[in-house]
Amino acid sequence: MKPNAMIELNKVSKHYDGTIAVDSVDLSIKQGDFCVLVGTSGCGKSTTLRMINRLISHTKGQIMIEGQEIMSFDPQSLRRRIGYAIQNTGLFPHWDVARNIGTVPKLLGWPKHKIQARIEELLELLNLPYSSFAHKYPSELSGGQAQRVGVARALAGDPDILLMDEPFGALDPITRESLQQELLRIQQQIHKTIVFVTHDMDEALKLANHIVVMDQGRIVQQATPYELLLNPANSFVSQLLGGEDRGLKQAGLMHVADFMKTNRTMTPSDHQLAQIKPDDSLRLALSVMLWHQQEQLIVMDDNHCVGEISLQQIIQAKPYADHHG
């Protein structure tokens, strides 16, 4: 087993009646990683995810959780220690939000006061006020709210591992982006090991610190977002990344704060320049420049000028660290 590996797959395959869905996959996911499996439909990414918690049994190979082979666990106890969130949320329609979230802690034998405290904690974490949402039923929630409850339920038993299978795939773009930001914010606080499946490369680049590209049941490349953009392994990966659009995607991973000129005070003429924030991406800065037809922006933080950034600085920008540190 590799050092710090929370999940490890060694030569794992899945066969269905002679068809190979997953073909000899080797994968090591470290504790605290946000690992995204990405690829086209039918590439084996969801099958790989579901083999980790034994919703699907693997045909060959070995899957380890913290150094222990998953076949040595009782399937139900294994699933209770691994959070699982899916696209349609899987909420029980006749149970209210609080009861849905409390399902796994109850199965784990937690006392009532601890379950109640966990429900309140998670609703607060996901920006769903307890008084407003705890006693609503799934049919009374918007798609984004229901997905938040699904994530809360997956986290309820305080699992070390969270598996997420296309959880935001059915949502509109605005809600989807909001939940992506929410998930990143939550991960900064709770530091779970997350394995996330998507067919959307932009979503993968935004969320992951470890991207695994799959094609025809095999891993064709795994790397950090920056490494993937800079050195795609083949034409398939390059096409998945958007081909010539890779430069803009790379700019989306870099922040104004890392490339701006600092120690600058505002001058009267600066009020004619458009503004950007330090934590905005270089891609957004470029968009603002194009929209305002300006080659320079003022960087503002809490109504204070903290620097400037030019088109030339963006063009010359080189990534030097992974965007998730």
Q: What is the largest CA-CA distance in the chain?
A: 73
Instruction: Locate the DSSP E strands across the chain.
Output: 5-16, 19-30, 34-38, 60-65, 68-69, 82-86, 161-165, 193-198, 210-215, 218-223, 275-276, 296-301, 304-310
Is residue 301 a contact partner of residue 186, using CB atoms and an 8 Å limit?
Answer: no
Render pLDDT for 126-153 as a digit per residue (tens, 0 to 9): 889 999 999 999 999 998 899 899 999 9
With respect to CATH, is domain 256-316 assigned 3.50.50.60? no
Return the pLDDT at 244: 74
Return the pLDDT at 1: 56
CA angle 196, 197, 200 (to 5 degrees): 115
By residue count, the chain amounts to: 325
Question: 220: Cβ–Cβ under 8 A, 6 or more apart, which residues?
Answer: 213, 214, 233, 234, 236, 237
Domain ranges of the chain: 5-250, 256-316
CATH number of the structural domain 5-250:
3.40.50.300
- pLDDT tens per residue across all 325 residues of the chain: 566 789 999 999 999 888 899 999 999 999 999 999 999 888 999 999 999 999 999 999 999 999 899 999 988 888 888 999 887 778 899 999 999 999 999 988 999 999 999 999 999 988 899 999 999 999 999 988 998 999 999 999 999 999 999 988 878 888 888 889 889 998 988 899 999 999 989 899 999 999 999 999 999 999 999 899 888 999 999 888 887 777 888 888 888 988 888 876 667 777 788 899 988 889 899 999 999 999 999 998 888 888 889 999 888 887 654 444 4
> Which residue type does 41 have?
S
How many CA atoms lie within 13 Å of 312's alpha carbon, on the beta-carbon side?
Answer: 2
What CA–CA distance (Å, rounded) separates 29 from 6?
Answer: 6
pTM for this entry: 0.84
What CA–CA distance (Å, rounded) separates 125 from 133?
Answer: 13
Do the first three CATH levels of 5-250 and 256-316 match, i.e. the same topology?
no
Is residue 305 a contact partner of residue 266, using CB atoms and an 8 Å limit?
Answer: yes
> Which residue type does 155 have?
L
Return the pLDDT at 79: 86
Q: Which helix (H) or strand (E) holds 186?
A: helix 173-190
What CA–CA distance (Å, rounded) separates 200 from 212?
Answer: 12
Residue 309: count other Cβ atoms within 10 Å of its Cβ: 25
Q: At what angle do helices 143-155 and 112-125 cross, to 10 degrees?
A: 140
For the record, the structure tokens of 107 come out as 């199965």
What CA–CA distance (Å, rounded) separates 126 from 110?
Answer: 22
Q: For residue 112, give the DSSP letter.
A: H
